[in-house]
Amino acid sequence: MSIETASSLTVVSTPNAPAAIGPYAQGIKVGDLLFLSGCIPLNTKGELVGEGDVEAQTTQALRNLKAVVEAGGSELGKVVKTTVFLKSMNDFAAVNAIYASFFGGHTPARSAVEVARLPRDVLVEVEAIVSLK
């Protein structure tokens, strides 16, 4: 795990999630909040998991999200907001089932948006805002 501080911002990164594929951080801490970049279904080697399989891709994306949340010093039960980006809104129910299995009874605020294309042509991407308290 690597944490770099620049003024009041702290960059959070972990080898337990794939490295960023562009000029951005896995997460940024500011004050009592942790902001996560979008998590896509890559393994720690940067390889796509579950090509064409939205359930497998959602599971991997949420595993990555969990790893960054924990590297930032928090837990899934403190996620306050997520945004789920979907290649197809037809996958909404399948993604919801996997999402619910990760969050259990905790239900953060959430938006779900269908988009034309996602990085690496994945089917799902999830970003989050997390409380550190």
- Residue 56 belongs to what domain range? 2-131
CB atoms within 10 A of CB 83: 16
pLDDT of 1 higher than 80: no
The pLDDT tens digits of the residues spanning 45-99 come to: 999 999 999 999 999 999 999 999 999 999 999 999 999 999 999 999 999 999 9
pLDDT of amino acid 2: 56
Question: pTM for the whole thing?
Answer: 0.93
CATH code (residue 116)? 3.30.1330.40
Mean pLDDT lowest for which of 2-11, 85-94, 95-104?
Answer: 2-11
Nearest to 86 by CA among 42, 110, 118, 132: 118
Number of domains in the chain: 1
- Residue 7's pLDDT band (cuts 50, 70, 90): low
